[in-house]
Amino acid sequence: MTETNVTLVYVRYLDHVLFSRCSPLIMKPQIRETIGWLVYECNDFITLSWDRDAEPPTLKGGDSKASGLVLLKSDMLEFKKLEAQALPLQKNSYWHLNSATTNSKPEYALRPTERKTQNKQKGETAT
């Protein structure tokens, strides 16, 4: 991703409910929540994406495979913006994928004398 600053958002909102063969009097909007990248915001609604390309957009622009929501601000119960900076894993010092010291000593789940196959090799049954 080429951009280093992204706006992450958390939203609780009222969602429409489709019902069938039940009493309409007991139905009401459902409270849902989502998180994602804020794509667009105006006075009436927001557009957020929770799945998108990690690479820069094509020459035509946009991301034809993005997934997300368009939410009316009038239906939003809670809206929080979180400023974050995307860091590649290799530049993040908190993630060590390799041990600092080399372990050349072999490790076994069971010591060789306790293996179930030890007795079978000698022609005996394992206990």
Q: Which two tokens stand for residue 49?
A: 């994406």
**Strand partners of residue 84:** 6
In this structure, is residue 97 part of a structural domain?
A: no
Whether 114 maps to a domain, the answer reads no
Kindly state whether residue 41 falls inside one of the protein's structural domains: yes
Q: Considering the domain boundaries, does residue 123 fall inside one? A: no
Instruction: Indicate whether 46 belongs to any domain.
Output: yes
Tell me if 79 is assigned to some domain: yes
Please indicate, yes or no, if residue 71 is contained in any of the structural domains.
Answer: yes
16: in domain: yes
Total structural domains within the chain = 1
- Rounded to two decimals, the pTM is 0.58
- Domain of residue 41: give its range: 5-88
Matching residue, tokens 């992450």 = 8
Model pLDDT for residues 11-65, shown as the tens digit of each residue:
999 999 999 999 999 999 999 999 999 999 999 999 999 998 877 766 666 777 8
- Helical spans, DSSP H, in 8-124: 116-121
Return the sign of the alpha-carbon dihedral for residues 29, 31, 37, 42. positive
